[in-house]
Amino acid sequence: MRIIIAGAGEVGFHLAKQLSSKEHDITIIDLDETQIEKSSSASDVMSLRGSSTSIKVLKEARIAETDLVVAVTSNESVNVTTAILARKLGAKKTIARVSSAEYISDENRDMIKSLGVDYLIYPEELAAKEIVKLIEHSAATDIVDIEHGKLSIVGIKIDENVPVLNMTMREIAEQYDISSFRVAAIHRGTETIIPSGENRFKLKDHVFVITTQDGIEDVMEIVGKNEKNIQDLMILGGGKIGRKTAKLLEDKFNVKLIESNSDKAIELADYLRKTLIIEGDGRDLDLLAQEAIIDMDAFISVTEDAETNIITSLMAKHLGVKKTIAQVDNSDYVPLTQTIGLDSLINKKLIAANVISKFIKKSNIISTLSLPGLDAEVHEYVVKEGTPITKKMVKDLNLPKNIVIGGFIRENKGYITVGTTQFITDDKVVVFSLPEVVNKADSFFN
């Protein structure tokens, strides 16, 4: 597939890494030469310096032969214009990143599509929905749904009170019923581990399991993580993410939202009917004390400043808040946040890249996912008739080290893979692997 990515920022960078393969011919366009060099060095893509709204540049990128154009610059107008021009110049499909909710409203969506934009990505709304999931499953650090929740990847922190601390995977399997989930990856310090039976859970490990919706409760019970009773929560930052998050949560929870900008606070008070709007600086300890942060069950920091989000979330955690969530869009901070005590982080750009990748089929791979701080690849394959994966049960496949087949979807229902599982044509299979063995995983499905 020929793909043009307009914008070599965080979203474009993650997309280029996820989609880079011999099966895709990718060209990335950006005005910033530094960003282009960064993307080119991290993935096997062609680069073109220039504006994606330039007809000359698009023709130079062979737009008429392109299957998909993904416009993900930081400028909404550039993205929409790029998508429209691309379709007029012969591109088969277009995706544009937008930063305004009006583009994705029911009344405007069809009109935008008629202009040539096939799909719109609004990262702020995606981030808000991710936050809602983390509040509803408050014991988890991460929740990534696959095929609309038929399977889910759930992140869990291993602390001193976890019953399985220092146990091997084999010992856990002998002592507990783990048929409803599978441990797929462990993030330890700066290392990512695809576990085998002899790997142990260690203090401060960040564990990722794949499970069905019914299995989430089983996972939490085994690791001793009871869902926290969330009733009162505080949101710092009344921008697009904070605003949408409050709107989605205010009917179920008691919500306070702190916003420093006076005009924005007044606007939020009109938009949010049940949320208490507080005008002030959320970094002010006295203000947080006056607003009873110590009595909050959850604290969500979604300002535009990553440092503010990290510091205020740590402060809330220190004051005894049960669940903290911080927006951290700078990927350089992600490894740090995993080790300093943050419960959950939201990276709207990574979320957007994951969603976009689901629209791009790479041979028999439906989608590729990334998880914050995890140096592992998560692929969803479609099983083809006669491929090696169909020949034997999983236990007899002799899978290489650092590959785990976590779960699969058959006839619209999710299942966890066990040793006696044998895949059949059209199964959708979720595979975790380290980057260096991805090709070995591919070989079972081709």
Quick one: average pLDDT of 233-237? 96
Q: CA end-to-end span of the chain, whole Å?
A: 17
- The predicted-structure confidence for 348-383, as pLDDT tens digits, reads as follows 988 888 888 777 755 455 667 777 667 788 888 999
- The predicted-structure confidence for 389-430, as pLDDT tens digits, reads as follows 999 999 999 998 999 999 999 999 999 999 999 999 999 999
- At 263, give phi and psi (nearest 5°): -65, -40
Same fold, 2-121 and 127-222: no
Quick one: average pLDDT of 183-203? 89
Select from 3.40.50.11400, 3.30.360.10, 3.10.450.50, 3.40.50.720 the CATH code of 232-348: 3.40.50.720
DSSP label at 180?
A: T
The vertex-268 CA angle with 274 and 121, nearest 5°, equals 105
Which pLDDT value is given to residue 112? 87
Q: Which CATH class is domain 353-443?
A: alpha beta
User: Are 82 and 95 spatial neighbours (Cβ–Cβ below 8 Å)?
Assistant: no
User: Are 173 and 197 spatial neighbours (Cβ–Cβ below 8 Å)?
Assistant: yes
Q: In the predicted model, is pLDDT for residue 49 greater than 60?
A: yes
- The predicted-structure confidence for 155-192, as pLDDT tens digits, reads as follows 988 888 888 999 998 998 888 888 889 999 998 888 89
Q: How far is CA 138 from the centre of its chain?
A: 17
Q: In the predicted model, is pLDDT for residue 43 greater than 80?
A: no
**CA-CA distance, 63 to 54, in Å (whole number)?**
11
Q: Which CATH class is domain 2-121?
A: alpha beta
Judged by DSSP in three states, 220 sits in helix
Judged by DSSP in three states, 175 sits in helix
Q: Which CATH class is domain 127-222?
A: alpha beta
Would you kindly state where each structural domain of the chain is located, as residue ranges? 2-121, 127-222, 232-348, 353-443
The vertex-383 CA angle with 380 and 384, nearest 5°, equals 140
